[in-house]
Structure 1
Amino acid sequence: MCEATTDGTGVAQAVPREATGTAVDPIELEPVDEVLVTTLVDNVYDALLPGEDRARRAPFTVGTAAAPQFDGGRTAVGLVAEHGFAALVTVRRGTGTTSTTTSVLFDTGLSPDAMITNADRLGVDLTQVQGVVLSHGHFDHAGGIAGLARRLGQRRMPMVVHPHAWTRRRLAVSGREPDELPTLSPRALAGEGFELVERREPSLLVDGCVLVTGEVDRTTEFERGMPPAHEAWTGGSWRHDPLVIDDQALVVHVRGRGLVVVTGCGHAGAVNIVRHALRLTGVRRLHALLGGLHLGGPAFEPVIPPTVAALTELAPALVVPGHCTGWRAQHALAAALPEAWVQGSSGTTFRLVA
């Protein structure tokens, strides 16, 4: 959709289509015994949220900072919340002395320092992460790369991205000057020491037990993508970019439970993403859905009822909508899935075990 076509191919690709039966190229996703998803950056930080078996909350205070207005010259600090998303996904395979643990970073937040600040306050050592996956090229998911690069120093780290993550985009709202969004630079990332792995197709990481979906099949009739104000540069003009074709999710199979799906913004549509993951892997159950579902604002609120209905039918054990989900969708999901819905917050670790 980011290139001008005259034969209707782009339009045809945007139309929802049937995707029945097993995938042509099924993915053998190795099951894991435990997955931990730690939200390093989200739009919300609530220090009063109670923990539970599935959700370990950060302490009320996670350190101190200089503050001369207090006796002793210091005050307590919490965690950073901003309009962005970053998650540390750690998988464990095996038990006891034979177990292995691997961590990957999924997105990096909006600002250069928020993710690093929160990781430090939580005691998370990002230098031990094995790689980075970007859900898509929007700047509120890639801004923290600068801070990560500083922390890594000379160490090289692989980064999985879709080739269209470098697309120039802007918001052209009627009655206002167009606002061009910050665009990722592959040359700059390579210069910072990241080993770029560009793939449109699904990718298996961590000895075959972490799946990056690649491009997601758009099969529902109601998840139609971004409104006309979201545009991409084709090389000669700005055109409506509804699909955000670089949108991809991260998937883990918890042994005996089902799939854990982590989304960045969910531009491909939450239901499209989940169905795509189930079909690719042949796993029949969705165990958990975490991350941004992009259901906030007037353009997306009409999509809430069919999305909630479809997710209710899938009956996940855990749903943690975050980032761009929006408060109306949060309320609807909490009402429809009261046992599964959990409020997200920067600093929360969600634990899912076989």
Structure 2
Amino acid sequence: MTVEALNARPRFQNPVTIQDIKKAARLIHQVGRVTPLIQSMFLSRDVTGGEVYLKLENMQLTGSFKFRGAFNKINHLNESEKERGVITASAGNHAQGVALTSKLLGIKSIVVMPHGAPLAKQQATAGYGAQVILHGDTFDEAHQFMEKEAIEQGYTIVDPYDDVDVIAGQGSIGLEILEQLENVDTVIVPVGGGGLISGIATAIKSINPQIHLIGVQSENVHGMTSSYHANEITTFGVDKTLADGTAVATPGQITFPITKHLVDEMVLVSEEEIATAMKDLLQRAKVVAEGAGALPTAALEAHKIDSCWLENKRVVALVSGGNVDLERVATNIDHFVG
């Protein structure tokens, strides 16, 4: 997108600044990892005709980018908020980030997860010391229960995406991408409630507004994409999705305007396309990706992105997490080779 096109958009005041993200990065890097950025030869040569790099957040602490936002947020709480204990709702990755951070800081943590959340994520969250409560069939139902518990019990909410400190923490990924690779042209990001893409967009567009930023969601649950095209917050969720980590039917009040103003386009992929991407990342790139983490690869393989942003371009596709049940991995393999 040109500078003129960006300037033509309605002006808005971003509550997250590049300074917030830089401070978050310094804090996170005291404990967290600078995750690898590796070139994918099969996505480069066979799929796009460009240089495609995978940003491997599946190798972050807890196996997901979510540690970044949770660590930054909880470290910004005052002592009274920490003493009351923290509570969150999550399909699993944010849960683990909150649980591990709380364990490191000696804080009580409660995590509300929907029934059907991957067992591996439930077990890992409990293993970090959090109290796990299963409630509701969807993330949105779990989130509503979490808000009720916070009021009744006095817990401090650590929202999984709609929070400026969480967004700033996720934005540290954007800084790393630009430090690891020169002359980036296109960045492709999985989207759920919008915390990840809001942070990355703020970081990247603050430094180089010419970079084309694309969000990807499942056809089955895509509240942010629906809202993006409607120019207002809407709800969209018709079925379960392999990308359970992004199964958020209604985007955040904070994240939606940031996404609308800074993200260049949103695309959708099918469940079959997600499954194919998970299989190919494992087989061709030796990368274990959960459904949400495979969304950018699915968009590339299914040719959902115009070639003008890919061919002869430097492209970064974010693998946001790798917390997937072995049973799901086995089922996916059987689907293609059985």
TM-score by length of 1: 0.33
Structure with greater strand share of residues: 1
